[in-house]
Structure 1
């Protein structure tokens, strides 16, 4: 029996829609932060890029657990708005803004200096940064802007705050002219240096791990063309996580008691241990990358 166009249309809808709904439901079958009773009262936490997206939901979770939360953000207005919203939703007034632009090493140093002066201890640092599609620019420090924003800035911040840390998990995850390749390279540098940082901190009581939150509906595509942003959002409705879901794995690594003492590991978006790329498993490369990053940041 022949099918008319209308029949084919409805058949396709009833076949495809459940499939996409299944994909969306799958993203919800994760470790649930709300089911974790861990409290952070008396703990000081810092979340970079916390005025929106994944960082904002991580900060919101920490505030709900009673932590002192510092939102390290580049934009004063957006950061203030996020602080007020988190205070309102959690009734935790110990939530504050610290200005930080990771593309500027001077800004990183200023932020770290203030934190070191004001805070007696730092317990959790979440280096939440992921700027893709940045223009091909050189910063005032003479660095490629994506490399500075996504890797060297967070790297410098982490090392400048080590003296204040007494227990924390650090999260993170060949440059070419393609914007996505540049972004991917900066994430690889973060992962490599986190592994080396964990090695250097062995026996100190401080742990360092890297986390991939998954592909999420954030503002990460804001530097791309309008057409690409629209395509990203359309595809993301079916295949990508919401920011609340993307925040799950970083929160898990920060507060889960079962990970106490776990260091030098890489966790995927399902809160599971993952095997990183071969380059990230090379200890000699990790030591060299860390040394180069130290040298680049110490001179500037």
Structure 2
């Protein structure tokens, strides 16, 4: 009786902190890529897309965990079409190799879900020398989207979904020291990378509006996932203790899925709790979005008109 009452109260509480959402829209014949899909929100997103009939590529750095995720989804979803492919967003060579593999194995791409990310880590750099959070969360996905644009265009109508965060509200793009070489603070760097996700979505939407590609920035809410693994030990303990107040990975995937299947959404918008949301003034600045675009191309040594 006590356990049943606890579960009832817990479910009632969860309904207050996480908007429930469902849709019966099918995605048969569609192809999706979900980065960081071996765990957390990405895995929950991949599973839901597979349940809708989509063919899903799990793009992951850790192939052992990725194959385990594939096995889990295939065991839980009858006739699921899911595969794992190696992708390390902290290495531009790996990103290029992944894109080449996609063009060699997939005939279409209808959903690119840029889900993977790192948060609140101590100072580190990617293989190419970019600050880790900015390099993985923004530049890695920027390059991946650039490389897959032709396939997205060929498969139109198609969608790009970038996982941002409410943390973007604290963000500022430090154009003079975007890689935090002069001064590093893990929270400021994370907020900068999430602001970059929103600005990238805004500028990309403007540039591809005539190509049949729509773009969305998503806040999944505060979710209990492995993204907290880089936090200090005492903060990890605090997060675990307060986990009842956090969303589950499945709940964290709702807004991503909402933006994937809901027709007639505003491209370039910022979404939270399965609805349009207000982003920060900095995230609405078209001049900053254009400046970040140019800087990203310069850092990655690409030309993207």
> TM-score higher than 0.5 here?
yes
Does residue 247 of structure 2 align to residue 247 of structure 1? no
1:201-246, CA deviations, whole angstroms, 9 ceiling, x for partnerless residues? 1121110110000001111110122211010111232x21111100
* Aligned mates of 1:61, 1:298 — CA distance in 2: 36
* Aligned mates of 2:275, 2:80 — CA distance in 1: 33
Q: 1:91 aligns with which of 66, 78, 90?
A: 78
Instruction: Give the structure 2 partner of residue 266 of structure 1.
Output: 270
Instruction: Give the structure 1 partner of residue 93 of structure 2.
Output: 106
Contact residue 27 and residue 245 of structure 1 kept, 8 A? no
Runs of 4+ in structure 1 deviating by more than 6 angstroms, as ranges, are 17-21
- Per-residue deviation, 1:18: 10
Does residue 186 of structure 2 align to residue 179 of structure 1? yes
Scaled by the length of structure 1, the TM-score of the pair is 0.87
Instruction: Give the structure 1 partner of residue 44 of structure 2.
Output: 57
- Per-residue deviation, 1:157: 0.3
- Per-residue deviation, 1:21: 6.7
Q: 1:235 aligns with which of 224, 242, 250?
A: 242
Does residue 210 of structure 2 align to residue 203 of structure 1? yes
Contact residue 45 and residue 68 of structure 1 kept, 8 A? yes
Contact residue 95 and residue 140 of structure 2 kept, 8 A? yes
Select between 192-201 and 178-187 the one with higher mean Cα deviation.
178-187
* Aligned mates of 2:51, 2:11 — CA distance in 1: 30
**Cα–Cα, structure 1 residues 23 and 95, in superposed 2: closer, same or farther, change >3 Å?**
same
Note the residue ranges of structure 2 that are not aligned, 5 or more in a row: 1-6, 165-173, 175-179
- Per-residue deviation, 1:31: 2.1
Please give the secondary structure, in 2, of the residue aligned with 1:186.
helix
Instruction: Give the structure 2 partner of residue 128 of structure 1.
Output: 115
Does residue 37 of structure 2 align to residue 37 of structure 1? no
**Cα–Cα, structure 1 residues 72 and 18, in superposed 2: closer, same or farther, change >3 Å?**
closer
- Per-residue deviation, 1:134: 2.3
RMSD, aligned α-carbons: 2.0
- Per-residue deviation, 1:132: 0.8
Please give the secondary structure, in 2, of the residue aligned with 1:92.
coil
- Per-residue deviation, 1:93: 4.2
Contact residue 124 and residue 167 of structure 1 kept, 8 A? no
1:118-158, CA deviations, whole angstroms, 9 ceiling, x for partnerless residues? 21110001000221122312223121111111110011001
- Per-residue deviation, 1:167: 2.7
- Per-residue deviation, 1:20: 7.6
- Per-residue deviation, 1:291: 1.3
For these two proteins, the number of residue pairs brought into alignment is 277
Select between 130-139 and 182-191 the one with higher mean Cα deviation.
130-139
Q: 2:284 aligns with which of 270, 281, 284?
A: 281
